[in-house]
Structure 1
């Protein structure tokens, strides 16, 4: 990649995948897959465009919009749209690259892509957001479609933004297509979609606990980061299953429970309403049961913890924080966010897994653990194609089946391609990477995208 501008986030995602492939027996058995990796690491298409809109003061504003259409071997490009001032091509390529293999693990016919803009919805009025979404979709609508590319929401893009963009697409193209997921329930959305990433994360970890002989969520102390959609529903599902949730966080700091009771479901719902109002966690009435640590992430402040679920953004667990979690007794770490752990943190968890057998900390990467969101997006696409809606119970049952399949697939693939000592827990990061990679590159080979 030396002839390209530095893209640190994408390079990190590429190296994380490539290193696990190199450390396995995959290339020994299939040396031609090195060629496949070289091809798969280059997006099929990158679209970059300007977005010109008018603020409430009548002033012209301009932002950069993007869509990285990374791989369509398994189906239409599928991945979210992120509106955040940090958005750049490196971040979107990392997210799109991860999305390829995450979508493969769902078993549904979806390729991988990602997009967004360096637009900050915070502090903007509804009218400003509507005007921006309409201007953004005027250009994006030329490049997407129900059988071509189906974006969803991500950071900064909730149901409100999806609605504005869907309306702009419908007017621009004169078509009602299932072209976006995360839609309202009365116009093509799916039940369980808002909950899916958080619920799916917990369903996945439940299989980890069972396989490792760690029981169920009942009685476990769970540290969560983030306080958005993923963290909220993961917390509610943990509480429903009998766990104690001891932390949440936002970009300004961490909220830590100071009593054994942790967060209640009602308190999580209060925080969810604060987020709808775009308020920080500092606005939460702590009532003497919590402490707010400004500028901090929760991992070194939660004390004894059994399960850690980073669910905010990328690189939110460092190597030192990973060591702190191990010292605090943590035995399961699963990413609700994409690439939530730095490579140093993954190295800490994987070294512990190799050294301590069944009693080790067990780490699950986001491409497996948080694939529930895109899985239900895929189910929303299926319902749109049928012009039919499934019940909440049907969607939840399918989500549980997909999460079990993703876990089983990663587990079986790790056992097949990664050497392990007796009693050692299989590497879920290696197994998930290899399983997703094999599915994608075999489809690419069958379609002539690479040859050797």
Structure 2
């Protein structure tokens, strides 16, 4: 019998949610030594099964009016997964691929990511299958107003505090928070994070996920390889918030950013991106809201249509996937290993699929840090924003940056301490997050 046979009822119940089951199986595989422990194994299994069931799944219809006066309908969800450590915390994603299974996978991962930050936050996730691409400003605003009209009754600083994610940036958070305030007549509440600095936001929140990823990368490279980031060839996927600020910080440390991408293609900078190139990418994505192909011939790199950083046969020292789930498959991982990749550190959530993870593990000497650890800086600074809101004050950018660096260093320390003598950083991350949540559930009498 398989050591994970205790998950069979879950597999049967949620066979229609493969991405969620993938996240559960990957976590369970990493925790096998705990499940096989003679003294506590049975308890750990019970706790794990309890963690796989959300405490609450809220679903609702989102009607909104397009620019032609037609009423459109989308689906909205909020998965309130686990609140043992604190209020549900996790982003809102607007993307046509969003469904309850995708959000359950993201919310499940969020439980352990939030635990690693050391802040009192539970795990949750939400969003809609609304696609903001190609929509006018007015259409996005009207959608956000309608979405919050349905969701607001479930939110509270002590209950559930959403943030942004794919498709939800500062503009969308503003529209959502504006409607929340109209409906509740409550001001200054930390009920959303990622807010603008003029109305309760934290310095460095937009940069936090990308910066934190690079702080983690710097630590891993120094401690595991005895090197610095200077001149290291880094492949970054995506061109949104995380990819942009990861690239900015990598350039600041003297690394070479070789790629950025979007769903249509990839920009390749054979000798490394320049600061001017990065500014052009930010202008393209944040202001023009255009595709990277529009930069072909306008930056020092070349645009390759229909490809990604992981489909190109190129040498990278470090791979930093910052786009979406399952973007690195087995073939891509074999290509990375063949070309001598030294580390894979995840800026997105679950961007490396199970086959690719096995390829990396089998290689043995490739640093692999899962997103629940390496991209935890974003939710970490969201937690710091909540603290500032509760105290009615704002810290300086330097104060927040110092706390972010300390947080990522503490997560790295947890990974090393929990991995054991011969364990990997991946195993350490999964065990540290799980054990903290399991012990808290036991303390509260939720699992015995």
Q: What's the TM-score bracket when you normalise by the shorter of the two chains?
A: over 0.9
Q: Conserved in 2, the CA contact under 8 Å of 1:182 and 1:194? A: yes
Partner of 1:70: 81
Residues 279-299 of structure 1: CA deviation (Å, up to 9, x unaligned): 000011435842222221112
Residues 107-146 of structure 1: CA deviation (Å, up to 9, x unaligned): 0000000000010111111111111111100110011111
Question: How big is the shift at 1:165?
Answer: 0.5
Q: Which runs of 5+ in 2 are unaligned?
A: 1-9
Question: How big is the shift at 1:214?
Answer: 3.4
Partner of 1:357: none
Residue aligned with 1:78, SS:
strand
Question: How big is the shift at 1:51?
Answer: 0.6
Residue aligned with 2:156, SS:
coil
Residue aligned with 1:298, SS:
coil
* Aligned pairs (5 A) from 1:51-66: 51-66=62-77
Alignment length, in residue pairs? 435
Residues 1:275 and 2:285 are matched in the alignment? yes
Partner of 2:3: none
Whole-angstrom CA distance in 2 between matches of 1:160 and 1:443: 36
Q: Conserved in 1, the CA contact under 8 Å of 2:419 and 2:427? A: yes
Partner of 2:7: none
Whole-angstrom CA distance in 1 between matches of 2:282 and 2:182: 32
Which of 92, 105, 129 is matched with 1:118 structurally? 129
Q: Conserved in 1, the CA contact under 8 Å of 2:200 and 2:389? A: yes
Whole-angstrom CA distance in 1 between matches of 2:102 and 2:395: 34
Partner of 1:9: 19
Which of 369, 381, 391 is matched with 1:364 structurally? 369
Which of 32, 37, 44 is matched with 1:33 structurally? 44
TM-score, normalization by structure 2: 0.95
Partner of 2:6: none
Residues 1:220 and 2:232 are matched in the alignment? yes
Question: How big is the shift at 1:301?
Answer: 2.1
Question: How big is the shift at 1:26?
Answer: 6.4
Residue aligned with 2:310, SS:
helix
Sort the Cα spacing of 1:284 and 1:29 in 2 relative to 1 into closer, same or farther, 3 A. Answer: farther
Q: Conserved in 2, the CA contact under 8 Å of 1:226 and 1:311? A: yes
Whole-angstrom CA distance in 2 between matches of 1:23 and 1:450: 20
Residue aligned with 1:53, SS:
strand
Partner of 2:32: 22
Sort the Cα spacing of 1:45 and 1:402 in 2 relative to 1 into closer, same or farther, 3 A. Answer: same
Residue aligned with 1:330, SS:
coil
Taking only aligned residues, the RMSD between alpha carbons, in angstroms, comes to: 1.3
Q: Conserved in 2, the CA contact under 8 Å of 1:65 and 1:116? A: yes
Residue aligned with 1:141, SS:
helix
Q: Conserved in 2, the CA contact under 8 Å of 1:300 and 1:325? A: no
Question: How big is the shift at 1:24?
Answer: 5.2
Partner of 2:143: 132
Question: How big is the shift at 1:5?
Answer: 4.6
Residue aligned with 2:81, SS:
strand
Question: How big is the shift at 1:352?
Answer: 1.1
Question: How big is the shift at 1:23?
Answer: 4.4
Q: Conserved in 2, the CA contact under 8 Å of 1:48 and 1:65? A: yes
Partner of 1:393: 398
Whole-angstrom CA distance in 1 between matches of 2:332 and 2:226: 23
Residues 160-206 of structure 1: CA deviation (Å, up to 9, x unaligned): 11001001111111112110000000110000101100000000011
Q: Conserved in 2, the CA contact under 8 Å of 1:69 and 1:77? A: yes
Moved more, 27-36 or 320-329: 27-36
* Aligned pairs (5 A) from 1:285-364: 285-287=296-298, 289-301=300-312, 303-353=314-364, 360-364=365-369
Q: Conserved in 1, the CA contact under 8 Å of 2:230 and 2:253? A: yes
Residues 245-278 of structure 1: CA deviation (Å, up to 9, x unaligned): 10011011111113x2x11122111111111221
Q: Conserved in 2, the CA contact under 8 Å of 1:21 and 1:27? A: no
Whole-angstrom CA distance in 1 between matches of 2:233 and 2:44: 42
Residue aligned with 1:299, SS:
coil
Partner of 1:441: 438
Residue aligned with 1:161, SS:
helix
Whole-angstrom CA distance in 1 between matches of 2:397 and 2:197: 11
Residues 50-97 of structure 1: CA deviation (Å, up to 9, x unaligned): 011111111011110000000000000000000111100110000000
Question: How big is the shift at 1:447?
Answer: 0.9
Partner of 1:431: 428
Residue aligned with 2:383, SS:
helix
Question: How big is the shift at 1:207?
Answer: 1.0
Whole-angstrom CA distance in 1 between matches of 2:263 and 2:310: 14
